[in-house]
A and B are shown apart, each in its own frame.
Chain A
Amino acid sequence: DSGVTQTPKHLITATGQRVTLRCSPRSGDLSVYWYQQSLDQGLQFLIQYYNGEERAKGNILERFSAQQFPDLHSELNLSSLELGDSALYFCASSVDVNSPLHFGNGTRLTVT
């Protein structure tokens, strides 16, 4: 158990809808990362937050947004969903930006 909790585990929704994925980092970790894992794109870095502030951005679509709250949990919001957004979304956390990442078990999103 990595200590990183992601909810829900599975999500099935229709095109055009909006969903929110939630992540609770390991106790004491200040940095949260979001990754998307799909069959055609592999593992792609989306965005990183450190202690509530956005730290780095990767291949995140404009339809996607994220935030980290004062209690350090993070949410990834996906809107105007398309079939191609179907993927496994991982959250990871670390103590600081120089420490190894610890991954949650992911949220599997299926867009129909």
Chain B
Amino acid sequence: GNSVTQMEGPVTLSEEAFLTINCTYTATGYPSLFWYVQYPGEGLQLLLKATKADDKGSNKGFEATYRKETTSFHLEKGSVQVSDSAVYFCALSDTGTASKLTFGTGTRLQVTL
């Protein structure tokens, strides 16, 4: 079956530091890949997505590239801010559909001044 593995948190960084959150996946076919962010007390929000190999999703300074050869979709940001503190979820969906998302366990990011 499908599965997503994320690096364990929490990740603690100083403001303006470089962020990498690793995500690898196992899936049949050609899944779509997503990063969702969950701020305290809120639901998940779509951060970015990529639907095919070598696609790069980007939003709000965050980027992730769909690497089929390494089955990875690592999240990166060049300079984090305190407001980026949240839980980040990597997810995949079955081919051609956004339903039945399979999520990773989430990585908590804490950014300090």
Answer yes or no: do A and B interact. yes
Since A33-B99, A101-B44 are in contact, a sample of 6 more A-B pairs with Cβ atoms closer than 8 Å, ordered by chain A residue number, is: A45-B102, A56-B99, A92-B43, A100-B34, A103-B43, A105-B41
Q: Is the interface of A mostly helix, strand, loop or mixed?
A: strand
What string of 1s and 0s marks CB contacts (under 8 Å) between A50-84 and chain B? Answer: 00000110100000000000000000000000000
Contacts of A100 in B (CB 8 A): 34, 46, 49, 98
A90 & B99 in contact (Cβ 8 Å cutoff): no
Knowing A42-B103, A43-B89 are in contact, say whether A98-B44 is a contact too (CB < 8 A): no
Q: Any chain B CB within 8 A of the CB of A2?
A: yes
Total inter-chain residue pairs, C-beta < 8 Å: 53
Contact of A2 among B41, B45, B101 (CB under 8 A): B45
Shortest distance in angstroms between A10's beta carbon and chain B's nearest beta carbon? 11
Which residues does B use to contact A, with CB under 8 Å?
34, 36, 41-46, 49, 89, 96-106
Contact of B99 among A31, A103, A105 (CB under 8 A): A31
Contact of B43 among A4, A55, A94, A99 (CB under 8 A): A4
